[in-house]
């Protein structure tokens, strides 16, 4: 542990870096605000693609923001992006696991079965406004719907690799940190994701 290994009365004396002055803390908070403001919408959309439910996506993003601010807010800002997405992906996986358990549990119960996807609205509906859609816009919406549908059919790790690399723009090392795997695995997942998507979307695109 830095700072505690040089003096005999180590538990009484802290010889590490001095506490940050108030101005530095304010500056750090400002940087964190800027960082979160920059990524929050993309993070929300990525969570929404994975979870299909806007409320769940918002909960996961909010939880990731809180955890990053509480646990890693003092870390260098260059580390925030992969850390944030690692927290976010863990949250998405946890929620999907809970859903799976709940679905299995509900299958044992008598009576009408709950369909967790029944109340989820179409993602295109949540994105589009109420203005009448032009033919070009309609085609865009259809393409987006097809893309999201294809992304959901990918294995989770391939989807994570594709969205983090292509949508968020993380490099291979950052993606590996965010996914908690090696850089080689990231390249493999990404390559397979692109291959599968190309097969599925080839007819539309």
Partner 1 sequence: MSEESLAPSRLEERSRALFLESVDGLDMATRSRLTQARHAALAAHAARRPWILRTPVLTSALGMSAAAVLGVTLWFGGPPGSHGSMPADNQSTFEDLDLVASSDEGSGDAMEMLQDDLDFYAWADKAANPEPAA
When the beta carbons of 54 and 116 are compared against partner 1, the nearer one is: 54
Q: Which is nearer to partner 1, 113 or 169 (CB)?
A: 169
**Four-point Cα dihedral 23, 24, 30, 34, nearest 10:** 160
Tokens, residue 34: 């800027």
- What region, left, alpha or beta, does residue 180 occupy, with left being phi > 0 and alpha being psi -120 to 50 degrees? left
Compare residues 69 and 156 and give the one whose CB is closer to partner 1: 69
Nearer to partner 1, 100 or 137 (CB): 137
Cβ–Cβ under 8 Å, residues 170 and 164:
yes
Which of residues 47 and 157 has its CB atom nearest to partner 1 in the complex?
47
In the complex, minimum distance from the CB of residue 107 to partner 1, in angstroms, rounded to a whole number: 32
Write down the least CB distance from residue 112 to partner 1, Å.
31
Min dist. Cβ of residue 19 to partner 1 (A): 9
6 burial via Cβ count (<10 Å: 0-12, 13-18, 19+): exposed
CB of 108 to partner 1, least distance (A): 35
Give CA–CA dist 179/95, Å, rounded: 16
Please tell me the distance from the alpha carbon of residue 147 to that of residue 152, in angstroms, as a whole number.
Answer: 9
CB of 116 to partner 1, least distance (A): 21
The CA distance from 85 to 179, in Å, is: 8
Q: Which residues bind to partner 1, rule: CB under 8 A?
A: 25, 29, 32-33, 36-37, 40-42, 44-45, 54, 58, 61-62, 65-66, 68-70, 73-74, 123, 126-129, 140, 143-144, 147, 166-167, 187, 191, 194, 197-198, 201, 205
């Amino acid at each position: 542990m830095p700072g505690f290994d040089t003096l005999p009365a180590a538990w009484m004396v802290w010889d590490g870096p001095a506490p940050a002055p108030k101005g530095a803390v304010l500056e750090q908070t400002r940087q964190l605000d800027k960082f979160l403001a920059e990524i929050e919408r993309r993070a929300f959309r990525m969570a929404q693609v994975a979870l299909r439910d806007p409320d769940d996506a918002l909960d996961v993003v909010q939880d990731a923001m809180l955890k990053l601010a509480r646990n890693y807010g003092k870390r260098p800002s260059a580390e925030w992006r992969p850390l944030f997405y690692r927290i976010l992906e863990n949250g998405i996986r946890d929620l999907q696991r809970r859903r799976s358990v709940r679905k299995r549990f509900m299958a044992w119960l008598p009576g009408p079965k709950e369909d967790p996807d029944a109340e989820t609205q179409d993602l295109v509906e949540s994105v589009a406004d109420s203005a009448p859609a032009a033919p070009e816009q309609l085609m865009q919406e259809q393409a987006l719907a097809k893309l999201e549908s294809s992304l959901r059919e990918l294995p989770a790790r391939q989807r994570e690799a594709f969205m983090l690399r292509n949508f968020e723009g993380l490099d291979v090392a950052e993606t590996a940190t965010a996914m908690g795997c090696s850089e080689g695995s990231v390249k493999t997942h990404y390559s397979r994701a692109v291959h599968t998507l190309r097969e599925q979307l080839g007819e539309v695109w």
